Structure 1
Amino acid sequence: MDIIDDFIRQYNKEFDYYQKLCQIVASKIEDQLFKRGIKAIVTHRAKKPDRLKDKLLKRNEEKNYGTVEAIYSDIIDLAGIRVSLYFPSEREIIDEVINDLFHVEKTKKFPLTPHIPKHDKRFSGYWATHYRVRLKKENLTLRYIDTIAEIQIASVLMHAWSEVEHDLVYKPFSGKLSKEELAILDEINGLVLSGEIALERLQAAMSERTKKHNEINDKYELTNYLLSNIDKDYLNKIKLGDTYLLNNYLNTIKTLDVSELNSYITMINTDLQESVTDQLLNMLMVEFYDNDKIDLKNYFKNLHVSERKASGFESFVKCWVVLEKAVRDILKDSDSDVRRYMIPNFGLLKDKKILNNKEANELRQLRQIRNYLLHGIETPVDENLKNSYKELKSITYKVVDHVPTADIKEQLKSELDSL
């Protein structure tokens, strides 16, 4: 009892620390859900000291805590974050998000064992995934990187039911529940599981409506449409990625309907490390590129890039598009992936003696800069971007000189000269 009291006194002093950790984790998740077009409610809390003490007194009957440190090791949800999904089928995307954002110490899926219906409990209970995570090393979060937070993922319906069951069954304040009360809770669980099926049907119906109307209105519809129309095996091999960026570009070009988007979805290459949305963005930028019609400055402005910087970013990306067009034409007869997937293998430029080792290495670094620009992250300072742009343009001129199709070569040179 003294050990539990000592722990609670210490935890009271640290309560704000755990509350801040929750806030940091929840904020990171919310940011990624927004970018990926996932509808969910994210809540967080540090465990309340009074409720925590009640829990410890019960667990101590079995655990017989010997030290304060033993309690810290046992209670892993002092910092708790809950993600309540509108659509249960998006759990896999949340798994992608969490593994990208955090160091995952342990993943626990419920139910732990396959459910075998019994007379006293017919339904399978709690369906969710719990993650024990630590923050990755960042200057702003160094204070918190050694502390575990627990993230619980389930549908909005399942979280509501589990909250009711947890308080009534595991934390009863008015005595043990009767057989009838337990049966009613079981019945509600059955309704929740049916509700999750209904949510999945609703999601499919929304995708069909999008297809029928032949237009996508926002990133949420785009995410839903992609999840409903790409092969399920794709997401076992590559990530979905950031639908906010893809939707941003679709809004920029304003000329692509859903039926056309489908043709590009079929060309996604699961052998590449690039995400679904990055591949689609890359294909569409090359396919719909036109100096006169596509104003990429608007794309970058939507990423909150200043107008001055947006102009430099646009020139760099447009130069990259010219390079990619040139590489496609050079490799069209020798690289089957170009024909099938529209994604050229830049490594073949060195094999064909078009680029030397130094230039090939520079191109890899320039590709990373291009990706950073399109994602609006780690943007280089003006002078560095200017130098990188000069390097890219020089390499692109050299590659264009090897384009076998005369009219394409002249067109690409003209586009380069106009940048």
Structure 2
Amino acid sequence: MNRPELPRRARSTVAVLALVVSAVLAAPTAASARTAPAAAPTAVTAPTAPTTSVVTWGASADRLDAAVPARTHRIVVHTSAGGSGLRIRLSNAFGEQPVTFGRAYAGVRASGAALVPGTNRALTFRGAASVTVPPGGSVYSDPLRGSVRPAADLAVSVYVQDAAGTATGHRMGLQTSYIAPAGDHAAEESGTAYTQRTTFRYYLDAVVVDAPRGTGAVVALGDSITDGAISTADANRRWPDFLAERLRNDRRTTLKGVANEGISGNKVLSDGAGVSALKRLDRDVLSQRGLRTVILLEGVNDIKATPAPTAAQVIDGYREIIRRSHAAGACVVGATVMPYQGWEEWNESGEAVRQAVNAFVRESHAFDAVVDFDAAVKDPAAPAKFLPAYDSGDHLHPNDAGMKAMSDAVDIGGLRCDR
């Protein structure tokens, strides 16, 4: 995606992100309410126009490496929906011990770990600079006054004051983030202290804004293909990124938020690389603010596993995701499983299961809509294979052009249903 040059961005920083702390506490999700005490919001001046809370960025929580105290993480995120009242969600979903976050800041990223001067602002949690999140819990920050533009690069800086055991976060970022290995550097706009680079996204799993009333979000539930594997790093070329661009430019739709909830290696039915899609559905998908539509692209890792489930078992998993999503008021778009002949785990038996699963997606009418990713990327001369122009070279993951072709295959009008 095109990005504005730094001088232009610097000239507009006050309009882009005037992050003045509000006294209102963001209402907790059902998941976070179970792990944190309730608190009444403080009254503030009524907004000039009604708004809706919408996720503008998301990344699935998973187990990372050992939690390390007394260091600062600067996580770079790319927004989808624009709005006001920015909030972040910090997760300790996989921690065995509490994590204390000493301070958190948000600002506009200039380049590398450096921020645009004058944009870094302190976040609070129920009015306090610090918050402790229990094992399995998550917490939203208070909202910040001011506006955030769509397609903006933000840097969320979090000082981990006290932590032990396992860190929670997202493993395959495809986006460079930064670590200051010693001390609290969250308030600094310079990137000097951030001497370590990582593609892990520690603790941050959602960013939310208040968008015009009626604005909704799409959540992409998937595996490494959704996570962006093999796409160009630091370039926002995953298929959900291309979809966010299409939604942003389409005035006919009110769907503007996109959260990428892909985990590399993830399966529908069983744990492995991340817990199964069935187990993480509530936390990673149904808890997202402003959720209107789920796009489900999972199954290839189940199908190519040994032993592999039957097509009926995969389909039963799909049906459960549909049922639970519908119960939460969300539409579900089913995506066909893409070809993978040439990948070392491909065999005729798995191909038969893939075809049966895809027939269900296309023909069962169990989904509210269908996106035929298989048709979009397959080689017509060899339908079990990727079209060479879209193949990253490993015969399982699309390249950047393939990612765009996937996004282009999504019918934007079909993302909404009567629920």
Tell me the TM-score normalised to structure 2 length.
0.29
Larger radius of gyration: 1
Which is helix-richer, 1 or 2? Answer: 1
Name the structure, 1 or 2, with higher relative contact order (CA <8 Å, separation 6+).
2
Which is strand-richer, 1 or 2? Answer: 2
Tell me the TM-score normalised to structure 1 length.
0.29
